[in-house]
Amino acid sequence: MLSKNLEKALNAQIRHEAESSQIYLAMASWAEVQGLEGVAQFMYAQSNEERQHMLKLVRYVNERGGHAIVSDLKEPAVKFGSFKSMFETLLKHEVFVSQTINTLVDISLSEKDYATHNFLQWYVAEQIEEEAQARTILDKIKMIGDDKAGLYLFDSDIRNFTSVGKPSEN
């Protein structure tokens, strides 16, 4: 049985994951209207993944005798300036999510809830991967700079990121 404190913290995480999904959906839509098909595809896939992260938490909270709450969400930005700044925003957001996961791990340990601690390890591993992926993408973007041909190649290259090295949950 989850403690009230942990239930509340896990519900806050459900909200973070749902907001992540909305942010990446907004990024997908923005990239799509910019004509960046590959980037849009990548972001739609990221948005789906975040929804899966949220659902996994919902099921867990309910399974452990809590009540997963579906709450209202912060409105995401609709424009992202450049695709470089969009990926910087993505990385920053993932670093934030990693911190929230770490806080949850801390709480689960302090309450000796080892089941939740074990459950959270999947998220810890996922965050390492998501941050690394965002950094790899940003490194590529920095290499391209303002080169239009490079951007075209990048847009086609990024499609590979959606199917490689990600947990198969979609």
How many CA atoms are closer than 13 Å to the CA of 91, on its beta-carbon side?
15
Looking at beta carbons only, is 15 or 53 nearer to ligand FEO?
Answer: 53
The reply to whether 19 sits near ligand FEO by the rule CB under 6 A is: no
Phi–psi pair at 158, nearest 5 degrees: -65, -20
Judged by CB under 6 A, which of 17, 19, 113, 155 binds ligand FEO?
A: 17
The whole-angstrom distance between residue 85's C-alpha and the CA centroid of its chain comes to 17
Number of residues that bind ligand FEO (CB under 6 A): 7
Contact 147, 155 (CB under 8 A): no
Report, in Å, the least distance between residue 52 CB and ligand FEO.
Answer: 8
Looking at beta carbons only, is 7 or 17 nearer to ligand FEO?
Answer: 17
The reply to whether 20 sits near ligand FEO by the rule CB under 6 A is: yes
Which 77-136 residues touch ligand FEO, going by CB under 6 A?
A: 94, 97, 130
Report, in Å, the least distance between residue 150 CB and ligand FEO.
Answer: 26
119-128: long-range contacts (C-beta < 8 A, 24 or more apart)? 119/60, 122/56, 123/53, 126/53, 126/167, 127/94, 127/97, 127/98, 127/101, 128/98
Binding residues for ligand FEO, per CB under 6 A? 17, 20, 50, 53, 94, 97, 130
